[in-house]
Amino acid sequence: MNDVRIMFERLETTNMRVIMQSEEQVELSFTRTWNSSLEGKLAPLNIDKRFLVTYLLSLLNLGANFKV
């Protein structure tokens, strides 16, 4: 039997922006800037976590006699 472990990571961020966008993909950036009010609550790190999302497209040829 496989030992499957699922890990969830939650990152509370203060900003989100689109870095790059095309017809095929988009890159998103989620950032959190550390400041002294967070001392003792969070590690003193500035975080920029990015996700690259690729769009998957399918083309469907229904034929000339198909009516919507």
Q: Match 């919507």 to its residue by tokens.
A: 68
User: What's the mean pLDDT when you consider all of the chain?
Assistant: 80
Which residues contact residue 42 at a Cβ distance below 8 angstroms, ignoring those fewer than 6 apart?
A: 34
- Report how far residue 1's alpha carbon sits from residue 9's, in angstroms, rounded to the nearest whole number: 25
Q: Is 28 a residue whose pLDDT tops 90?
A: yes
With contact defined as beta carbons under 8 Å apart, do 22 and 29 qualify?
no
Residue extents of the structural domains in the chain: 15-54
Nearest alpha-carbon partner for 46 in 36, 37, 33: 33
0.85 exceeded by pTM: no
Mean pLDDT of the region 8-18: 84
Q: How far is CA 54 from the centre of its chain?
A: 11
Q: What percent of the chain has pLDDT over 90?
A: 37
Q: What is the mean pLDDT of residues 1-14?
A: 73
